[in-house]
């Protein structure tokens, strides 16, 4: 017989804590101290239904994986559970109005338009998680700016009636040289999560990289794929290598065609916008001002398992457990690309993790411009595939990367924003816009296929200039500018009274 | 006997569609699918008078050329045609007020002033078409910025009592080294269209380039010219070369003195400002949100005939069908200038099509600075005339181009704006202002004639710097800047109540 | 017997035109077509008292010099002249209020503060004349910006208890290495005009350059000087060399110690801010829109006598008519400095005329950095004194120029602003502030006297960068930035009604 | 028997002036002319209690040191002293409200956040003193900007499970390579002054440099330290070397471990923001406009004893009077670092005094990048420790400096702001934030200890670019930008009446 709401409600304290998730009750009392996101967030729901909070942050198989069966207390008769009367906040009412009045999908003409709409219609915390980056977010913006310091040297009078921008990545053909890169917590943006991206990728014959930190489970994302659809696995390496081995080999069995090991995140970044969004003032602080322990945002909560000891010495082990091509994701200097060649991996992704990890990492496109001439000089450019991600918003960005020598580019946030604003239709349109731009761009640059995209088509001399970095908004906001001497207001009246 | 409005009104559907243009009825039912601008825009006027919509986009000989005589249904008694009661929108009423209060012509002191006035008084769609450019319009603004990275090294103590800035272009003398370059759809800005530019050009002894996509017919523009007035033909090459041959040879017969083949537009650019201006929300979308097929702006509609297969291999054919000097318009790298010399054409226009085609094409003035030293080094600078266009607003811009080695510069939008705001008087004054600035500029730079304008008079080292590109307004608008911690508003009151 | 107002008032037409100036009547009918500022401005005062308009633009000896004695009609009984009831405009009332509430003099801590105050309290036309510059005023601002691309490399642990920044210029000692450079129309800013600058210069042992286009007469300015006070003459060369000779030799006789021949102004610049300020809309234009002849601002009116034929060939003649040291003012490239050495003149002023002549002339400080190494390399740095002007606002600017090798710097507008805002006290304080800054600057840079200011104390590598020129305000104002798709306002309500 | 308020109040004039400080009366009549801050500020309190004004500017032992015992008049019965009814100004009421509503400490996520809060809650004069800098404060902001022109080249796949950023400075171990640098007048920000910094430094095992111009006395600061806590002495050298010797030897006796001689301040800088803050308009000026003698801000008042004659020749003397390591603070060019090596001192601090002394001094980080390659080339990098300060706000800044070769970095204002806003807790949190950032930064850059921070980890090519210096706010504010021709407002109505 099912438990009732009243049964669960009795266990509403930290030392006796039951919660309901998806209609089932769980005893999490002993689990509390182990929860990567801290115990406090769970205790808040002690004795209550935690589904809404739980959902976007945890893949559905989480409880099965991490909570012993003995703590699974079985189904709850949800009709007996008191509905939280979440009186809608003024913010939420405003947001609902913005959703109703959001622009039509066909008014979005480029990837940035989706971001504009998403910013208006997403929940503030979700927007905070997706859009935030490290420290002063200068790297985040540099990723975009760097592309704008590169210019084209297009060829004219080339017969461009037919242009073909299909290519291969890690040996598999694909319709266009971008892939959907791994991004965490898809359900923050859309209730169905990452499978939305899977479906759009299938439609457009685009490769999807499956994130370790997805809201959907790995198998859900694989299952959502169509026949022959290419997917890769992004991997945060667990301190427990047995878990990592299980994940990798499972992915290979399920048909993944590439293993992308994240190497730029031995510790996940502090993202202050995310932290500030999360911050909710406790009543008690108002009166006593005492310091409380606040969440450091979603990123830290979900990443405590990542192994900061991962090193070059681990690569042979990966090569021993899988036949998938291995790609190092997050390489940031030419020296490490050369090491990667030596280590015998199949590729690297030049990336600074979308500006979310080390502030003042250079943009991938700049590192690419540093890397390719060295690879060519040493005759190594055929030995390894070089990918870039970060800041890609236009087909011209893709073209620039390919002219310099990239095999493909990863695009992450823009598809999250398109999904958050318009669901599958949004991602579909975003991909179509990129394809339209790509066709136009190929024609106007005078290239009929990917092989014709060469360094001679770009002027990248400006790329290395850091004379005018993105503005430091926090510092600007605190600077108190000099002013000229003010008028002595009121003096005129005073005089006139004399 | 003339048709009546009622006769026409019976044919008001897509599968039976008559329209009235300039007092005559036409059966366009069969033509609908072939209309380059799509069928929808015509069906909107099925059974009605379409003249106002038709006028600026189509030269007057369009219907004769493209619609079989059998579909010409003859005159309509216009007194029987119901007048559309176009209730004036609030926007239009505001615009009419702005027109009444627009500044006097003599308050315009430079070419940018005309643009400021035009922006206020033009219809939003017309302004959108003229002012828009590719993608993020960074190239559009770079065209202007690039000139500002070049500085003068003027000579002093030169006798400049008399300065003479007359020159020759393609062998014909002209009063000043700029020409009116080809721009489409003149009637969007002024009811008389391109002939206004013709008349002003005549008055000032300035060369006019006649656009393929004019609102006036080619012959109207030729007929508007005075005796001895020099005109050139700008050519979009048609997939059907017979049509192209007819156009070229007709132009030569009518006295055109130069053939400018556009080579930077195998496909016309997407211009998002134009598209956004055009977008008009259909009622149905409000409720069901379904995607509708929207116009991609005027540019796409009028350009579907252009041949993307045009290539260097076609040049000999052009040389075989005309004796006019041939100039390639839209060259963007020194390598292609060298190819043009080899191909035996008489000139090139370094141009990125006013920033309307490939975003991140470099400015013409930068390409010029790349090109001329190579030509001089190879002894080819006498073999070909090099022109530039894009971003020219001041005589100092003209002087900079000529110092670097350009034979002349093209100016487009500024004359459209002057015409749109003040008609012929506006264009007249715009040209006079340039001449006044030119006289002053020659004097102050210490040059008495065009031959004295040499590279030693400029410092163009900054030209190649792309350290601080024009701002990316869309990206800036979506970026959510970091903020300092906010005040805890209301706490003071709460405390005071304790 | 004196004339009456009524007598004069009878001659109030263009073909019979008397005017009153300083209580005397003049018949200017025949002079009208010769008036350099155009006849219209005089006819406006036909039959009336023109003193207020006449005063700031004309030195007091103007009428004696240019109008035949026969046209001097003698004194007018001013009590019979109708007072113009100039009802105060709202603008003027506001300005008077601003004057009453202006900051105390001691609230001005630097030269820019005076400019801020002057901008508030000056008449708009006067401010327009002083502050305006050529074209888009980019050069004006570059003059200031250029200094900010130069940085110091100060020496430490130098005994700077005593610092001495006195120096010599053209052989005469002076207390500090700046001089008051020539600026026109001092009475626009202060009723006493240039003599105010003379008095402040005397107090501070600073050299003053007397302008050709002063509001005061040359002799008034000379007479205002104290014993031993050093003054120079700035010369616009007249087409009539006899006049020039008279001026030069008179100046030498009166004790001038240097002749500064302006070489950057064969034609005076168009200054659009000045022109726009001057523009006053005629009623008639409102209805018929016809073009009227408008003033081109004060600059053009007063400069028509300047000889655009002046050339290097004239230099020997100047050397033959005077023993004063000759300095060429307005040199803008190293080649012309070398020519000046060859011509045997004693000095050059590197200057772009405060940005008022050729737009995109480089800053003097940049030309200095180009010039001095060449002079040193050729062993010519002892042969000629090199001065700079333009943009100097701080002692650090003076120090930078001297470190690069300048003998002194000219300062113009800042003293005009100080004078316009606070009269003699203002100029006095401005000079004192510069001296205070200079003492501090010498100490902090580690130099005890002028000779110790060497190139090793500055890092001027950034000076030649033109990557980020001053903003083009007109172009920015007309650019219509891209926007994200807007909300569909009102849809929410519409939906809620369904 | 104690004096009464009435007794003191009788001596309320400049020529008979008693004041009360901390409950005791003093006769300062004879001292008035010697007061470094001018007599006026004292006379304002003649006959009254001056404690509040006296407190933050003077260490508690000031009166004992500088006023003869005979002038110490003994205790005052404070109950008899009339309380100044300082009616709270509207500004102060606003500030008190801001204090009540200030953010919780844990909402501060970085050092800039403390500055934001401090700006809101500090007294305007205190904020003015702490935040102001020389001239146009361009150097102040360049110090920050320079760091942003340096980017990282992080290493990946380094085992960073354990990172250790402890180091040594001048031979003593410390937990992290920053120290609290000397800043003046701590009581302006917090009633307890510099000892707050001492306590936080102890908690975090951070070295503190004790300022000559502290609000607390030297001994108070020493006494506040815990056992083994490392402190250094910052020294302004007195004209009277006996005083200096006493200070130095006393510091050594009390356990100071380093002597930092300030060499960039032979005269303390003019700081206009500070001066403007201080300015209080005297009633009399309103009517007669006469110039009054105003304070030049706190800096000048407290620094008149500093010896501008200090030179390299003095160094051996310092070496003779102390065994503490000697460090020159304020070195600004590589040549002087070489001289310092030659002079045998133990270290240099590359610094421009937080932008408060010579405007346009280069940033310390730029000078570091100039210095270290020369030291390495000459084999001198082991001979001297090189420190930097100025603009450090993030651990990434510290990492950049250390990668270039700095031994440590000084941080000043941020701790003052943290202290001013939140007291000891604020400084504690600020230091903890830096440690958290440092740990993350080490991991993400791929370094496990300080020795691994090398030049190969940074790209500092942009550091020397001065193409886009910080904005010149005063000059921008006074510039009057060009505008397009305005509408002729009202014409429409006028026409409609016709």
Q: Alpha-carbon distance A397 to A417, whole Å? A: 18
- Residue-level pLDDT at D39: 83
Q: What percent of chain D has pLDDT over 70?
A: 93
Q: What is the pLDDT of residues B299-327, one digit of tens each?
A: 556 677 899 999 999 999 999 999 999 99
DSSP class of B445 = H
Least confident range from A390-394, C374-378, D32-36, D380-384: namely D32-36
**Minimal CA–CA distance to B459: which of D465, C362, C148?**
C362
Element (H, E) at D429: helix D413-445
Are the beta carbons of D63 and D72 closer than 8 angstroms?
yes
Is position C35 annotated as part of the catalytic site?
A: no
pLDDT of residue A65: 81
pLDDT score for D294: 40
Q: Which residues pair with A21 in a beta bridge?
A: A24
What's the rounded mean pLDDT across residues C239-267? 96
Residue B284 has pLDDT above 90, yes or no: no
Q: Give the torsion sign (CA, A461, A466, A468, A472).
A: positive
Side-chain-side CA neighbours of B469 within 13 Å: the count stands at: 25
Is A266 close to D468, i.e. CB distance below 8 A?
A: no
| pLDDT tens track for B391-430 | 999 999 999 999 999 999 999 999 999 999 999 999 999 9
User: What average pLDDT does the segment D389-401 reach?
Assistant: 98
Which is higher by pLDDT, D377 or D61? D377
Segment C319-345 shows an average pLDDT of: 98
Cβ–Cβ < 8 Å for C257, C231: yes
Q: Give the N- to C-terminal CA distance of chain C in Å, as an integer.
A: 93
B124, closest residue in chain C (CA to CA): C480
Is B35 one of the annotated active-site residues of the chain?
no
pLDDT in the model for residue B498 = 56
DSSP B75-93: EB-GGGSPPP--PPPHHHH
Side-chain half-sphere CA neighbours of A30 within 13 A: 7
Considering only CB atoms, which chain D residues are within 8 Å of A307? 161
* A333 three-state secondary structure: coil
Residue D167 has φ and ψ, to the nearest 5°, of -155, -175
Q: pLDDT at residue B457 above 70? A: yes
Instruction: State the pLDDT at residue B282.
Output: 42
pLDDT, residue C287, reads 31
Residues C326-347 have a mean pLDDT of 98
3-state secondary structure of C249: helix
Query: pTM to 2 decimals?
Result: 0.93
B441 and B399 in contact (C-beta within 8 Å)?
yes
Q: Do B469 and A149 touch (CB under 8 A)?
A: yes
Q: How many CB atoms lie within 10 A of CB B18?
A: 25
ipTM over 0.85: yes
> A309 and D159 in contact by Cβ < 8 A?
yes
Between strands D167-169 and D172-174, the pairing is antiparallel
Residues of chain A with pLDDT under 50: 281-297
Other CB atoms within 10 A of residue D386 CB: 25
Chain A environment of C484 (Cβ under 8 Å): 112-113, 116-117
B350: confidence class by pLDDT, cuts 50, 70, 90:
very high
Model confidence pLDDT, tens digit, residues C473-484? 999 999 999 989
Percentage of the residues of chain D whose pLDDT score is greater than 90: 78
Q: Per the structure block, which two tokens stand in for A330?
A: 């997050």
Which chains reach chain A with 3 or more Cβ–Cβ distances below 8 angstroms?
B, C, D
pLDDT band of residue B285 (cuts 50, 70, 90) is very low
Of C485, C490, C495, the CB nearest to A103: C485
At residue C65, the pLDDT reads 81
pLDDT for res D275: 87
pLDDT, tens only, C50-100 = 988 888 888 888 888 888 899 999 999 998 988 766 667 888 999 999 999
Q: Both tokens of residue A287? A: 């009166």
Cβ atoms of residues D104 and A285 within 8 Å? yes
Cβ atoms within 10 Å of D3's Cβ, excluding its own = 18
Helix (H), strand (E), coil (C) string for A45-82: CCCCECHHHHHHHCCCCHHHHHCCHHHEEEEECHHHCC
Q: Nearest-CA distance from D361 to chain C in Å?
A: 5
- Calculate how close chain D gets to B320, using CA atoms only, in Å: 50
* Three-point CA angle D289, D290, D294, nearest 5°: 110
Which residues in chain C touch residue D359, judged by CB atoms under 8 angstroms apart?
A: 394, 396
- Give residue D495's pLDDT band: very low, low, confident or very high (50, 70, 90): low
Q: Mean pLDDT for chain B?
A: 91
Residue of A95, A98, A99, A100 to mutate, interface with C, max C Cβ within 10 Å: A100
Across the range B136-157, mean pLDDT stands at 97
CB contact under 8 A, B102 and D484: no
* C490: nearest CA partner in chain A: A101
Distances (CA, A) of A49 to A22, A31, A186, A281, D16: 8, 17, 22, 23, 79
Give the per-residue pLDDT at D350.
98
Would you tell me how many other CB atoms lie within 10 Å of the CB of residue B305? 14
DSSP B354: G
- Cβ pair D135:C396 closer than 8 A: yes
**Is the model's pLDDT at C132 over the cut of 60?**
yes
C190 labelled catalytic: no
Full set of structural domains in chain C with CATH: 5-80 (3.10.120.10), 128-268+303-465 (3.20.20.70)
- For A221-235, the pLDDT digits (tens) are 999 999 999 999 999
Instruction: State whether D425 and A309 contact (CB < 8 Å).
Output: no
**What local confidence, expressed as pLDDT, does residue A86 receive?**
64
| pLDDT grade for D55, boundaries at 50, 70 and 90 | confident
Nearest to B390 by CA among B369, B365, B370, B408: B365
The DSSP-derived string for D171-231 is TEEESSSEEE---S-GGGT-TTTTHHHHHHHHHHT-EEEEPTT-SS-HHHHHHTS-TT--E
Strand, helix or coil at B350?
strand
Coil, strand, or helix at residue D477? helix
Q: C360, C362, C477: which to substitute to probe chain B, counting the most B Cβ within 10 Å? A: C360
Whether residue D100 contacts residue B497, with contact meaning beta carbons closer than 8 Å, is answered with no
With 0-12 / 13-18 / 19 or more C-beta atoms within 10 angstroms meaning exposed / middle / buried, residue D90 is exposed
- Report yes or no: C232 and C179 within 8 Å, Cβ to Cβ: yes
**Taking CB atoms and an 8 Å limit, are C103 and A488 in contact across chains?**
yes
pLDDT of residue D286: 31
User: Distance between CA atoms of B271 and D245, rounded to whole angstroms?
Assistant: 75
pLDDT of residue A2: 86
Q: What is the pLDDT of residues D131-187, one digit of tens each?
A: 999 999 999 999 999 999 999 999 999 999 999 999 999 999 999 999 999 999 999
Cite the active site residues of D: 236, 264, 353
CB–CB of C488 and A108 under 8 A? Answer: no
Question: According to the model, what pLDDT value does residue C176 have?
Answer: 98
Residue D494's pLDDT is 67
Q: What is the pLDDT of residue B88?
A: 79
Question: Which has the higher per-residue pLDDT, D91 or C408?
Answer: C408
DSSP string, A185-238: -GGGT-TTTTHHHHHHHHHHT-EEEEPTT-SS-HHHHHHTSPTT--EEEEEPPB
Q: What is the pLDDT of residues D197-243, one digit of tens each?
A: 999 999 999 999 999 999 999 999 999 999 999 999 999 999 999 99
pLDDT at B288 over 60: no
Q: Using CA atoms, how far apart are residues D312 and D263, in angstroms rounded to an integer?
A: 10
Which one is predicted more confidently, C90 or C143? C143
pLDDT score for A302: 63
Contacts of A425 in chain B (CB under 8 A): 291
| Alpha-carbon distance C14 to nearest alpha carbon in chain D (angstroms) | 30
Query: Is D157 close to A315, i.e. CB distance below 8 A?
Result: yes
Burial, C323: exposed, middle or buried (Cβ in 10 Å; 0-12, 13-18, 19+)?
A: exposed
Look at residue D298 and tell me whether its pLDDT is greater than 80: no
Vertex D116: Cα angle to D115 and D117 (nearest 5) = 90
Of A464, A482, A494, the CB nearest to D461: A464
User: How many angstroms separate the CA atoms of C39 and C62, rounded?
Assistant: 16
């Amino acid at each position: 017989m099912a438990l009732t709401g009243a049964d669960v409600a009795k266990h509403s304290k930290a030392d006796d804590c039951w919660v309901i998730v998806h209609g089932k009750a769980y005893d999490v009392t002993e689990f509390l101290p182990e929860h990567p996101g801290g115990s406090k967030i769970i205790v808040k729901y002690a004795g209550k239904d935690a589904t809404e909070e739980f959902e976007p942050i945890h893949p559905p198989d989480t409880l099965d994986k991490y909570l012993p069966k003995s703590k699974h207390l079985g189904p709850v008769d949800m009709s007996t559970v008191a509905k939280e009367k979440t009186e809608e906040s003024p913010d939420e009412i405003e947001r609902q109005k913005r959703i109703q009045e959001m622009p039509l999908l066909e008014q979005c003409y480029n990837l940035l338009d989706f971001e504009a709409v998403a910013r208006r219609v997403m929940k503030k915390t979700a927007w905070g998680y997706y859009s935030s980056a490290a420290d002063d977010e200068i790297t985040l913006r540099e990723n975009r700016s760097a592309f704008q310091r590169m210019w084209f040297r297009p060829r004219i009078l080339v017969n461009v009636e037919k242009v073909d921008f299909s290519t291969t990545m890690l040996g598999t053909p694909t319709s266009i040289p971008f892939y959907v890169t791994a991004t965490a917590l898809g359900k923050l943006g859309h209730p169905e999560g990452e499978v939305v991206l899977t479906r759009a990728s299938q439609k457009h014959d685009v490769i999807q990289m499956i994130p370790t930190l997805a809201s959907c489970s790995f198998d859900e994302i694989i299952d959502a794929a169509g026949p022959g659809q290419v997917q890769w696995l992004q991997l945060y390496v667990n301190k427990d290598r047995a878990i990592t081995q299980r994940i990798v080999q499972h992915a290979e069995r399920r048909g993944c065609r590439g293993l992308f090991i994240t190497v730029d995140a031995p510790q996940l970044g502090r993202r202050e916008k995310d932290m500030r969004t999360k911050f909710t003032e406790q009543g008690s602080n108002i009166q006593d001002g005492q310091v409380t322990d606040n969440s450091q945002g979603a990123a830290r909560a979900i990443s405590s398992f990542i192994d900061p000891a991962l090193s070059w010495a681990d690569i042979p082990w990966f090569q021993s457990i899988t036949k998938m091509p291995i790609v190092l994701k997050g390489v940031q200097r030419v020296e490490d690309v050369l090491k990667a060649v030596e280590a015998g991996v199949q590729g690297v992704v030049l990336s600074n993790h979308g500006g979310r990890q080390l502030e003042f990492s250079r943009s991938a496109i700049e590192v690419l411009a540093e890397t390719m001439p060295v690879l060519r000089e040493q005759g190594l450019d055929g030995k390894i595939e070089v990918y870039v991600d970060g800041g890609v918003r236009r087909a011209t960005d893709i073209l620039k990367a390919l002219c310099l020598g990239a095999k493909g580019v990863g695009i992450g946030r823009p598809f999250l924003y398109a999904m958050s604003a318009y669901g599958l239709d949004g991602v579909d349109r975003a991909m179509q816009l990129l394809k339209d731009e790509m066709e136009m761009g190929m024609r106007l640059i005078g290239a009929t296929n990917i092989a014709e995209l060469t360094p001679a088509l770009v002027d990248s001399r400006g790329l290395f200039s850091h004379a005018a970095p993105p503005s430091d908004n926090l510092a600007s906001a605190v600077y108190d500018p000099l002013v000229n001497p003010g008028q002595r207001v009121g003096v005129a009246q005073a005089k006139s009274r004399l």
